[in-house]
C-alpha cells in the first residue's frame, strides 16, 4: 500500500546529520530511517506515514515527505506536505494529514461525499475587506496568497488559506498550485522551497542540481528564543523552522515577543526585535528618590550641575539632597536638559519636597539626544518614532524627544515602493547614537526603490497644448542668478530622484550652487519663492564646454528632497530596461513650459546621427517649437523598466536649436538634444549620485 514511498528512500542521505553525530545510532539503511533530531533509528515504514515517530517529527516534515506528482498512486492522494493517504481519508471529518490539508474547505467543497466544512474564520475582528493574521492584526484580503508574506505570522500565505483545490497539480507545501514547468527548474518558486526538494526532483528532472533546503535557525546570539507557540524542528542541538513557517521569538532581556516567518533563502522576513529597551530604574538613593529632598531620579553627578540661588556664592554647585529653596540646573557639554521647557529656569523645591510650578512627575535630567538630521539622511526611508516606555508613536520632529532607548521604525518614503516585507528599526543608545542607522543607510537600495514613470496611459497633448502636470510630475523649473543680482527662470529640469535633477549642461555651466534654485513641480512661476529648493551641488558633464557643445547634460543635487504627492513620480531612467532602447526613429515627447507657465508637451521624431556624438536631433511634429527656456527639457520615450511594466523613460535633454531661430523668434522645430543613454553619461550620473548619498553619520 505504501509502495509509492519506496521510490526514493534509497538515495536518501543527510550530509549535515551523519557528519559529527557522535552518539548517533548506526541505522540499517535498508530498513531504517534516521531521525534528524538525535539520530535515532525508526523503521522505514514509519517515515511519512502521518504519525510523528521522531521527537520533533522530522520523519513527517514536508522537507522529508514532499513527493513528485508522477509518483501518484491510484486511490490515494497526497497531503500538502507530501504524505500519502487513501482517498477515504479525504474530507471524512477526521484530520488525517498532519498538516490538516485533507479537511480544508478548499478541497472538501468539491468532494461529493464532502463534509459540511466549517467556514474558515478569515475575517476575525477585521473589516470584511481584510483578513486577520493575529487577533487585531489585519491585512487587506488581496494580500492573501500573493507570494509575499504580509502577516507577521505569515497567515496570509499559509496552507490554511492558500490550499488550491486542484487535484493532480503540483502544490507547494502551503497549498499554492504552481505550473509543472516551474518544478525542479533550479529556481525556487514556492515560498517554502518545496518545488526544488530532493524527493521532488531527484530522478524527475535531468538538469536539476541539488541544493539543501534552507532553514531559519533560532538566533544564536542568545538574545532571542523561540517561544512555546513555535512549532520548530531540531537538528542536533539546533532549533529551526523551514521556509514559510512562522516562529514566535522572545527577547530574553525583556520578554518582548514578535512573530516572524522564515524566508526561502533562510533569512527572517522581519527584522528581529532589537531587545534593547529602557532598563527599569529603581532609585534606592534616599538623596534623590524623594526621601531626603526633591525627587530627581535621573541625577548624575557627571552630567548635571545644580546651583542654589539663595546661596551667597551662586556659582558653586551643590549636590543632592535638594531641600527647600530655589535652584537652577545646568548640563555638562553635549548633554541637554529635560524637560526642555525648564532649561535655564529657576525651580523651587517646596516644603513638602516636591517641585513647585512644574508638571507632574517632573524629573530633571541631563542626557545625550540622538539627532534628527541623522534620521533624514536616508532618502528612501521615512522614520516613525516610538516612545521607549510604551511604544506609542510621536512626531520625530520634536528633537527633545529623541532620548536614549527611543526606537525608530522605517517605511518607504512617498514615491518609493517596497522591495521587501522586512521592517527595519534603529534605537538611540545612551551615547546619543542611532544604533544600526549606518548599516540601514547602506542597504537602503535593497529596501525601497523609486517608483518612476508609472502613470496611467498618458495622453500628452500633441502640439503644444497644456497638459495636466500630474502627467509629468518630474518636470521642475530651474532659476539662476549668474550676476548675483536676482534669480530668473532659466531652464527646465527633470527629477530622476527626489533630490536629483537632470538638465542641460549649459544651464549650470560655470555657476555656483548658490546661484541656482529649483522650483516646484507643476506650473512655472516667473519669480522665485521662499519655498523653492536650495541647491547643494551642480555640475555639467566633463565632456561639455560651451565651445564644444556635445554631451550638454547637467546635474543638480538639491539640499533636501522635493515632496511629491503619493500619485506623483520621478521619471524613469532607461538603464534598467531589459531590452535595449533604440532611439533612432523613435517618437518622443518633450515636456516643458508654455510662455505663460503651464506644463506643455510637444512630440517629435528622434534621429541619431551616424557619427554618434551622443547628440540626437528631434524633428517636432505639428508645428511644435522649442524656445531658449526649454533647454534641459526631457525627451521622454516609452520604455520597459521590467518585463511587465511599461513606463516612460528620460533619454535626453534639450540642448540647442539645429539652426538659427526662424524669423528672429529664437524658437525652432528642429532641435538637438543630448542623449543620456550612453554608458559614460550613465556612469557619471551614478558617480555624482553616490557621492551625495552619504551614509556616514557624524
Ligand atoms: C511526469 O508526468 C508527465 C505527465 O504525465 C510526463 O509528461 C512526464 O514525462 C513525467 N515525468 C517523469 C519524470 O516521469
Ligand atoms: C520573563 O518571563 C519569565 C517567566 O515568565 C520571568 O521569570 C522573568 O522575570 C521575565 N523577565 C523579564 C525581564 O521580564
Ligand atoms: C528611597 O530610598 C530609600 C532607601 O533605599 C527607601 O527607604 C525609600 O523608600 C525610597 N523612597 C522612595 C520614594 O522610593
Ligand atoms: C561622581 O560620583 C562618583 C561616586 O560618588 C565619584 O567617584 C566621582 O568623582 C563624582 N564625579 C564628579 C564629577 O563629581
Ligand atoms: C550678467 O552680466 C553679463 C555681463 O555683465 C551680461 O552680459 C548678462 O546679460 C547678465 N545676465 C543677467 C541675467 O543679467
Ligand atoms: C497649473 O495651471 C493650471 C491652469 O491654470 C491649473 O489648472 C493647475 O491647477 C495648476 N497646477 C498647479 C500645480 O498649480
Ligand atoms: C557629426 O556629424 C555632423 C553632421 O553629420 C557634423 O556636423 C559634426 O561635426 C560631426 N561631429 C563630430 C564630433 O564628428
Ligand atoms: C522634419 O519633418 C518634416 C516633415 O515631416 C520633413 O519635411 C523634414 O525633412 C524633417 N527634417 C529632418 C531634419 O528630418
| 623 found inside a domain | yes
Residue partners of 152: CB distance under 8 A and separation at least 6: 133, 134, 137, 258, 259, 260, 261, 270
What is the spatial distance between Cα 450 and Cα 473, in angstroms, rounded to a whole number?
Answer: 14
> Three-state DSSP class for 45?
helix
Closest ligand to residue 466's CA: 6
- What is the pLDDT at residue 664? 57
Q: Domain containing 419 — which CATH number? A: 2.10.70
Q: Give the pLDDT confidence of 193-213 residue by residue, as tens digits.
A: 999 999 899 887 778 888 888
All residues at 6 or more sequence positions from 361 whose CB lies less than 8 Å from its CB, including other chains: none
* Range with lowest mean pLDDT among 71-85, 227-241, 389-403, 463-477: 463-477
Query: What pLDDT, on a 0 to 100 scale, did the predictor assign at position 216?
Result: 93
Residue 532 alpha carbon to ligand 5 centre in Å: 23
Q: Is residue 224 part of a domain?
A: yes
Print the domain residue range for 432.
373-450
Domain boundary among 529, 558, 587: 558
Please list, in sequence order, all residues whose beta carbon lies within 8 angstroms of the beta carbon of residue 158, skipping any fewer than 6 positions away: 174, 244, 246
Pick the residue whose CA is nearest to atom 4 on ligand 8: 621
From CA 255, how far away is CA 228, in angstroms rounded?
A: 13
CA 230, distance to chain mean position in Å, is: 26
pLDDT of res. 5:
32
Ligand 3 binding pocket includes 11 (Cβ within 6 Å): no
Q: What is the pLDDT of residue 145?
A: 92
Report the share of the chain in percent with pLDDT over 90. 36
pLDDT of 247 strictly over 90: yes
Q: Is the pLDDT at 8 greater than 60, yes or no?
A: no
Q: Which helix (H) or strand (E) holds 327?
A: strand 325-331
What pLDDT was estimated at residue 463? Answer: 42
Q: How far apart are CA 346 and CA 367, in angstroms?
A: 19
Question: Is any atom of ligand 4 closer than 6 Å to the C-beta of 237?
Answer: no
In a domain, 458, yes or no: no
Does residue 418 register a pLDDT over 50? yes
Report the SS3 class of residue 317. Answer: strand
The helix/strand/coil state of 519 is: coil
Which CATH number does the domain housing residue 490 bear? 2.40.10.10
Is 1 a member of any domain?
A: yes
How many A from CA of 170 to the centre of ligand 1? 12
11 pLDDT above the threshold of 60: no
Range with the poorest average pLDDT among 398-412, 428-442, 515-529, 659-673: 659-673
Please, which residues have CB within 8 angstroms of residue 6's CB and are 6 or more apart in sequence? none
Averaged pLDDT, 667-686:
87
DSSP 47-105: TTSSS--STT-GGGSHHHH---GGG--TTEEE-TTS-EEEGGGTTSSS--STT-GGG-H
Residue 456 has pLDDT above 70, yes or no: no
Q: Residue 598: CB within 6 Å of ligand 6?
A: yes
- Residue 605 near ligand 8, beta carbon < 6 Å: no
Taking the CB of residue 364, how many other CB atoms lie within 10 A of it? 24
Grid coordinates of 546:
560651451
Same structural domain for residues 205 and 223? Answer: no
Residue 500 lies in a domain: yes
What is the rounded distance in angstroms from the CA atom of residue 140 to the CA atom of residue 151? 10
Is residue 601 very low, low, confident or very high in pLDDT (cuts 50, 70, 90)? confident
Contact at 8 Å (CB) between 14 and 25? Answer: no
pLDDT at 83 over 90: yes
Is the same domain home to 65 and 93?
yes
Q: What is the mean pLDDT of residues 73-101?
A: 89
Asked if 475 and 520 sit in the same domain, the reply is yes
Q: Which residue has the higher pLDDT, 274 or 331?
A: 331
Q: In this structure, how many other beta carbons lie within 10 angstroms of the beta carbon of residue 427?
A: 21
Mean per-residue pLDDT for 666-670? 79
Verify that 76 and 200 share a domain, yes or no: yes
Q: What is the mean pLDDT of residues 44-62?
A: 93
Does a structural domain hold residue 683? no
Query: pTM value?
Result: 0.53
- How far is residue 463's CA from residue 410's CA, in Å, rounded to a whole number? 44
Q: Both 470 and 377 in a single domain? A: no
Dihedral angle of Cα 600, 605, 611, 612, to the nearest 10 degrees? 50
Pocket lining: 297 vs ligand 3, CB cutoff 6 Å: no
Query: For 260-273, how does the pLDDT look when each residue is reduced to its tens digit (9 = 90+)?
Result: 999 998 888 988 87
Tell me: do 6 and 97 sit in the same domain.
yes
Backbone angles phi, psi at 619, to 5 degrees: -105, 105
Residue 575 has pLDDT above 70, yes or no: yes
CB of 284 within 6 A of ligand 3: the answer is yes
Domain final residue, candidates 213, 248, 279? 213
Same domain, 607 and 634: yes
Residue 401 has pLDDT above 90, yes or no: yes
Residue that is last in its domain, among 403, 423, 450: 450
Q: State the DSSP string of 474-490.
A: TEEEEEE-TTSS--EEE
Pair (512, 425) in one structural domain: no
Asked, for residue 593, whether it belongs to a domain, the answer is yes
Give the Å distance between the CA of 284 and the centre of ligand 3.
5
pLDDT score, position 621: 82
CA distances from 388 to 366, 374, 381, 445, 447 (A): 17, 19, 21, 28, 25
Q: Is the pLDDT of residue 243 over 70?
A: yes
pLDDT in tens, 474-499: 889 999 999 989 998 899 999 998 88
71-75, 118-122, 619-623, 635-639, range with the lowest pLDDT: 118-122
| 636 shares its domain with 493 | no
User: 518630474: which residue's cell?
Assistant: 474
Q: What's the confidence (pLDDT) of residue 511?
A: 93
Q: Which residue has the higher pLDDT, 698 or 77?
A: 77
pLDDT band at 663 (very low <50, low <70, confident <90, very high): low
φ and ψ at 98, to 5 degrees?
-60, -30
Check whether residue 50 and residue 77 sit in a common domain: yes
Q: Are residues 67 and 205 in the same domain?
A: yes
Total structural domains within the chain = 5
| Smallest-distance ligand from the CA of 548 | 7
Cα(256) to centroid(ligand 2), Å:
10
- CB under 6 Å to ligand 5: residues? 482-483
Per-residue pLDDT averaged across 129-148, rounded? 91
Q: Which of 287, 301, 304 to mutate to test the pocket of ligand 4 (most atoms within 8 A of CB)?
A: 301
Q: Are 52 and 184 found together in one domain? A: yes
Q: Report whether pLDDT(286) > 70.
A: yes
d(CA 426, CA 695): 14
470 or 216: whose pLDDT is higher? Answer: 216
Q: What is the pLDDT of residue 498?
A: 83
Residue 57 located in a structural domain: yes
Atom of ligand 8 nearest to the CA of 669: 1
Instruction: Provide the greatest CA pair distance for the chain.
Output: 101
CA of 281 to the centre of ligand 3 (A): 13
Of 497, 480, 536, 542, nearest in space to 650 by CA: 497
170 vs 642 pLDDT, higher one: 170
- How far apart are alpha carbons 364 and 293 in whole angstroms? 13
Res. 101: pLDDT tops 80: yes
Mean pLDDT, the chain, whole residue set: 83
From 223, 255, 256, 277, the mutation candidate for ligand 2 (largest count of ligand atoms within 8 A of CB) is 255
Amino acid at each position: 500500500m505504501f509502495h509509492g514511498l519506496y521510490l526514493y528512500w534509497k538515495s536518501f542521505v543527510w550530509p549535515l546529520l551523519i557528519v559529527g553525530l557522535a552518539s548517533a545510532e548506526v541505522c540499517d539503511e535498508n530498513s531504517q530511517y534516521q531521525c534528524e533530531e538525535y539520530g535515532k533509528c525508526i523503521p522505514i515504514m514509519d517515515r511519512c506515514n502521518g504519525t510523528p515517530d521522531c521527537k520533533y517529527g522530522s520523519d513527517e516534515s514536508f522537507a522529508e515527505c514532499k513527493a513528485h506528482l508522477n509518483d501518484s498512486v491510484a486511490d490515494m492522494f497526497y497531503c500538502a506536505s507530501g504524505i500519502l493517504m487513501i482517498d477515504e481519508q479525504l474530507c471524512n471529518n477526521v484530520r488525517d494529514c498532519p498538516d490538516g490539508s485533507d479537511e480544508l474547505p478548499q478541497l472538501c467543497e468539491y468532494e461529493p461525499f464532502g463534509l459540511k466544512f466549517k467556514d474558515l474564520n478569515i475575517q476575525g475582528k477585521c473589516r470584511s475587506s481584510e483578513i486577520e493574521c493575529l487577533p487585531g492584526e489585519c491585512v487587506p484580503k488581496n494580500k492573501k496568497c500573493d507570494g509575499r508574506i504580509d502577516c507577521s505570522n505569515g497567515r496570509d500565505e499559509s496552507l490554511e488559506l492558500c490550499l488550491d483545490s486542484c487535484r493532480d497539480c503540483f502544490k507547494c507545501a502551503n497549498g499554492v498550485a504552481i505550473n509543472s514547468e516551474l518544478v525542479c527548474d533550479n529556481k525556487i518558486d514556492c515560498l517554502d522551497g518545496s518545488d526544488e526538494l530532493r524527493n521532488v526532483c531527484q530522478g524527475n528532472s535531468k538538469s536539476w542540481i541539488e541544493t539543501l533546503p534552507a532553514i531559519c535557525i533560532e538566533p544564536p546570539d542568545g538574545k532571542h528564543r523561540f517561544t512555546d507557540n513555535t512549532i520548530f524542528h531540531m537538528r542536533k542541538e539546533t532549533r529551526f523552522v523551514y521556509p514559510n513557517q512562522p516562529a514566535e521569538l522572545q527577547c530574553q532581556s525583556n520578554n518582548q515577543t514578535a512573530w516572524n516567518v522564515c524566508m526561502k533563502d533562510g533569512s527572517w522576513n522581519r527584522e528581529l526585535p532589537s531587545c534593547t529597551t529602557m532598563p527599569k530604574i529603581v532609585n534606592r538613593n534616599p538623596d534623590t528618590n524623594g526621601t531626603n529632598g526633591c525627587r530627581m531620579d535621573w541625577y548624575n553627578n557627571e552630567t548635571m550641575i545644580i546651583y542654589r540661588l539663595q546661596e551667597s556664592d551662586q556659582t558653586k554647585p551643590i549636590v543632592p539632597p535638594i531641600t527647600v529653596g530655589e535652584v537652577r540646573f545646568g548640563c555638562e557639554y553635549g548633554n541637554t536638559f529635560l524637560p526642555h521647557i525648564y532649561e535655564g529656569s529657576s525651580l523651587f523645591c517646596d516644603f513638602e519636597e516636591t517641585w513647585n510650578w512644574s508638571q507632574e512627575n517632573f524629573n530633571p535630567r541631563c542626557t545625550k539626544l540622538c539627532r534628527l538630521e541623522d534620521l533624514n539622511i536616508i532618502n528612501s526611508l521615512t522614520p516613525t518614532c516610538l516612545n521607549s516606555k510604551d511604544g506609542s508613536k510621536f512626531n520625530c520632529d520634536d528633537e527633545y524627544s529623541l532620548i536614549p532607548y527611543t526606537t525608530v521604525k522605517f517605511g518607504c518614503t512617498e514615491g518609493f515602493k517596497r522591495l521587501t516585507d522586512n521592517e527595519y528599526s534603529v534605537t538611540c543608545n545612551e551615547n546619543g547614537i542611532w544604533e544600526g542607522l549606518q548599516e540601514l543607510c547602506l542597504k537602503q537600495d535593497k529596501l525601497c526603490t523609486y517608483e518612476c514613470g508609472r502613470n496611467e496611459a498618458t495622453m500628452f497633448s500633441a502640439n503644444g497644448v497644456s497638459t495636466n502636470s500630474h502627467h509629468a510630475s518630474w518636470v521642475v523649473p530651474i532659476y539662476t542668478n549668474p550676476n548675483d543680482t536676482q534669480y530668473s527662470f532659466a531652464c527646465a529640469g527633470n527629477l530622476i530622484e527626489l533630490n536629483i535633477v537632470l538638465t542641460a549642461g549649459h544651464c549650470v555651466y560655470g555657476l555656483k550652487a548658490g546661484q541656482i534654485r529649483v522650483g516646484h513641480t507643476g506650473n512655472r512661476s516667473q519669480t522665485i519663492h521662499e519655498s523653492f529648493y536650495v541647491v547643494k551641488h551642480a555640475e555639467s558633464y566633463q565632456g561639455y564646454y560651451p565651445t564644444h557643445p556635445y554631451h550638454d547634460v547637467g546635474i543638480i543635487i538639491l539640499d533636501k528632497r522635493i515632496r511629491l504627492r503619493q500619485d506623483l513620480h520621478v521619471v524613469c531612467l532607461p538603464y534598467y530596461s531589459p531590452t535595449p532602447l533604440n532611439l533612432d526613429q523613435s517618437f518622443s515627447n518633450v515636456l516643458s513650459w508654455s510662455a505663460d507657465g503651464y506644463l506643455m508637451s510637444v512630440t517629435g521624431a528622434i534621429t541619431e546621427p551616424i557619427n554618434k556624438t551622443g547628440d540626437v536631433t528631434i524633428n517636432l511634429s505639428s508645428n511644435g517649437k522649442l524656445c531658449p527656456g526649454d533647454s534641459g527639457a526631457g525627451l521622454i520615450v516609452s520604455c520597459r523598466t521590467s518585463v511587465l511594466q511599461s513606463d516612460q523613460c528620460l533619454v535626453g535633454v534639450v540642448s540647442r536649436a539645429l539652426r538659427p531661430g526662424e524669423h528672429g523668434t529664437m524658437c525652432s522645430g528642429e532641435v538637438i538634444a543630448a542623449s543620456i543613454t550612453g554608458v559614460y553619461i550613465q556612469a557619471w550620473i551614478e558617480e555624482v549620485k553616490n557621492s551625495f548619498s552619504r551614509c556616514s553619520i557624524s
